[in-house]
Structure 1
Amino acid sequence: MYEQIVAYGLSQKEAVKDYPFGAETLVLKVGGKMFALLSEKDGISHLSLKCDPIIAVNLREQNKAIKPGYHLNKKHWNTIEVDATFPLEDLYSMIDHSYELVFKSLTKAQREAITMRIRATDL
């Protein structure tokens, strides 16, 4: 499942991998800002994603595998303990949401540059 999560995260516009916290924690970024942190231990992936604070609380109430962000701002980040039973569609939706929040937080110039590069590659 780890590889599927990474592949999906990297499918986001201009997403890149980084390892600023060491080789065991993969960070996915857009425009130099992180939108996902991923590690794996004992077959369980831990995925931290940015989230709207109201949605974050709701997700935590609905699923015991979703907790406040580990070593992150607990208001704006969730950490999900992902095992084989966690629905990939739900993860993908949360990755999309995190990416969108971070993309929107980029400067207008950064967003436009990314959009222009995407359009250029579509030609």
Structure 2
Amino acid sequence: MVSLSKMMLLLSLFLTTLLPSQLKGSEGGGEEGLLPSKVHVAITNFLVHDNLTVHCKDKHNDLGAHTLKAEETYTFVFRPNFFFNVTLYFCRFVWVGASHYFDIYVQDRDKCVECH
């Protein structure tokens, strides 16, 4: 019979040697790991004559406000939730005479890794 301490030692060895290489998600065409790949979001201002202010956040992270001139792009990167499809990023878009909110990334809805 294997003692509990030997089982814990074996589990610890497994977690420290084999598991870290499996947890890494695919980042550059490699094999898919256990963690979801990072998502890259790019928001471009296509307003010809107006600046666009973009303010994005999720439940835990406020990415701050960013003012984009015509054809400038704001990008951010995050890793979606591993256990549940609950990751949600929403943004407020403000330009002359208008202000709108939009769910820019919803994990259940969006399956992109490069989201434009």
TM-score when normalising by structure 1: 0.26
Structure ranking higher in helix proportion? 1
Higher-Rg member (1/2): 2
Relative to its length, the structure with more strand (as a share) is: 2
